[in-house]
Every structure is written in C-alpha cells, then in structure tokens.
Copies of this chain bind each other. A is one copy, B any other.
Amino acid sequence: MSSCYGKNIKISIFGQSHSAAIGVVIDGLPAGHAVDMEKLEAFMLRRAPGTNEFSTSRHESDKVEVLSGLKNGLLCGAPFAAIIRNTDVRSDDYAEIVDTPRPGHADFTAQIKFGGYQDASGGGHFSGRMTAPLCIAGGIIMQLLAKENIMIGAHIAEIAGIKDSNFDPVTISSADLAALYKCSFAANDTSAGDAMKKAIADALSVGDSVGGIIECAAIGLPAGVGDHMFDGMENRIALAVFAIPAVKGIEFGSGFSGSKLCGSENNDAFTFSSSTVKTVTNNHGGILGGITSGMPLLFRVAIKPTPSIAQKQHTISFSQECDTILKIKGRHDPCIVPRAVPCVESAAAIAIYDALLDFKKYR
C-alpha cells in the first residue's frame, strides 16, 4: 500500500510537488489494448490547473511522457510507466512551511513523521499535484473499462452548500456522463454551476476557500463484482478515494441520509425488467454485501475547503516553540472540487477495475 494500490493491478505513484518528475507505474494491465494518448491528455486536462478562472496560476503542463509498457501504442504486458516533469517550480514560496506548518495541511504531521526530512516544498508528496499520476492511471483504466461498456463519471454535487441536481440513481445513462466530460465545470444543472462559481469567486475575494461534494457513478458493471468483508466494493473504492488529498468522507447509495430512513423506505425492491433482475429504487448504490447488483454504482465524496487561504492564520513555530501568525503566499485554488472530479473518477476506475479482474478469474 502506501503509495501503492491494488491486488491484480499494482499502481505505484511517486513524486513530490517540486521533485524532478512525478509519475506512476501500473503493473498488471492486460496486453494488446491500445492506449489512446489523446484521450488521456483530454482526461488529464480536466484535472489540470488553469482551465478555469479560479484554479491556481501555477503553470503545469502535465505533459505525459510514457517510459515503458507500450509497444507500437499497445499495452505489451510489461508494467506501464509514465512521468510528468515538474517544470514551473518555485521552492521559495514554501520556505516558511517547515517551521510554521499551514493549518489543514500535512505540513505538521509530515514533520513529525519524517523528522523534518520531508520535502516540504509545495506540500511534497502530499501535494494535490500527486493526483496527476493518479489520473494517468485512472484515465488509462477508464479506456479499458470502456471496452467492457463500463463507464465512470462524476459531477460537482455541491459547493459551499449550493447543490447541483443529483444523478437519477436508477436511470443515469452514458449520455449523462458523456455530457459532463465535456463541461469545463462539471455540474448537471448550469444555473447551480453558476451559483457555485459565484460562491468560489466570493470566497476568493475575501482570501478564503470553499469545499464541496462530488457524486460519482459507474454504470454498465455486471452484477457479482466485489468480494466479501474487506474486499467489498465499498472497501475497495473508499481505500482508493481517500488517497485524494482533502477527501474526508464517502457514502454509498443513500448513505448518511439513508441512515435516517426506515427499512421499508430504504430497502430496494427487486423486480424483473426485460428478463433481468433490477431494483425499483437504488438506495443501495448498486452494492449489496459488498457485491455489485448490476444497478448503477453510486457514491458521494466530501471534499474539505482548500486549506491554503490568503487570510492570516494561527499556527506555531517549531524553531521558536511558540504560537505565531502565518500568511500563506502564492495563489491557490479557492476550491479544488472542480479539479477533483476526474481524480474521484480515477480512484473509482482503479478500484473497480481491480475488482473486475478478481471477478473474471472465477468465470
């Protein structure tokens, strides 16, 4: 584990915000499939900064350089490895961090864990930038899933308490998800999206930040994927999704609100529909006993407000062993939720694909 994920596929993510490069190794991908690099770049763009007015002005090209794993553009069975060079690196911005940890960041805990030897620049290995290699893996795996008619997509369900219309848990379609892929701001409801953007702009104007919720769906999954207890779909997806910095909660199907319902309300009746067993409602989020039911798999992820804010904050000085005031320099995303959308899709894709390989071995 650590920066490694998977049982059938093995994903190993490396890099620091300001190291020479960041990257990923993916072992266990099946040979013979084409990797559409253009499609991958388009996917990466959804995570890239600078694509909307609120994202950090740091210029990250996020150009993916493949080191191994392909032969004539096809996966060749050897581990796939790719890197992104870190070019626009200004370490000076982070000189203070080692001494005065930023509230809400991993600066303090990394200092304790690594005894001061951590690379604090830009958050080091804890930087949101580490989600770029996650997206390389996710983007490729989404291409593999597409060949099995499995599609994963997410939208911004909420920012600063402003709600988008949710996915219909029963009828959500590939067209719905495809439409979101094309949005620069992935909301189902444009007016809700506009209100969210305004909330982000308002936060920015006062040197503050906002958080939100992402709802993610996987459709086309066969019933029967996932394993008992610790290897259920919820476990697998949660394990992957919490690797995204700023994620502080996850719920499947009706989740926390379902915990307020009666059994007679929350249970989903089974019914035959075109000789397939479906459920009439989908409070179970497509997972029963950790195993997919064939209904859309649905989960929601809570993302905390960006901890980097322009306002003065109370913190401590390690060297002087006293409380002090910190004012973070540089520009930062006032809301990372929009850019986290493909990251959540990636984490889900990785978890689902790994489970799918387990499913296949008993076919």
Contacts and interface: CB of A to CB of B under 8 A. Distances in A.
Q: Which 7 A-B pairs have the closest CB atoms?
A: A106-B289, A249-B251, A78-B125, A209-B263, A269-B314, A109-B291, A238-B238
Contact of A15 (B67, B256, B259): B67
Interface of A: 1-5, 7-8, 10, 12-16, 19-23, 25, 27-28, 30-32, 65-71, 74-81, 83, 101, 103-106, 108-110, 112-119, 121, 124-126, 130, 158, 160-161, 203, 208-213, 223-224, 226-232, 234-235, 238-240, 242-243, 245, 247-256, 258-272, 275, 277, 279-280, 283-285, 287-294, 302-309, 311, 313-316, 321-323, 357-358, 360-363
A217 to B, nearest CB: 16
B77 A2 contact: no
Contacts of A81: 14-15, 21, 23
A268 B321 CA distance: 18
Nearest to A5: B230
Contacts of A292: 109
29 contacts: A2-B28, A2-B228, A3-B10, A3-B229, A8-B361, A10-B12, A16-B76, A20-B67, A30-B362, A32-B114, A71-B121, A76-B118, A76-B125, A77-B114, A77-B228, A79-B125, A103-B279, A232-B242, A238-B238, A245-B289, A249-B251, A251-B256, A251-B302, A259-B304, A261-B305, A263-B307, A266-B305, A269-B314, A360-B361
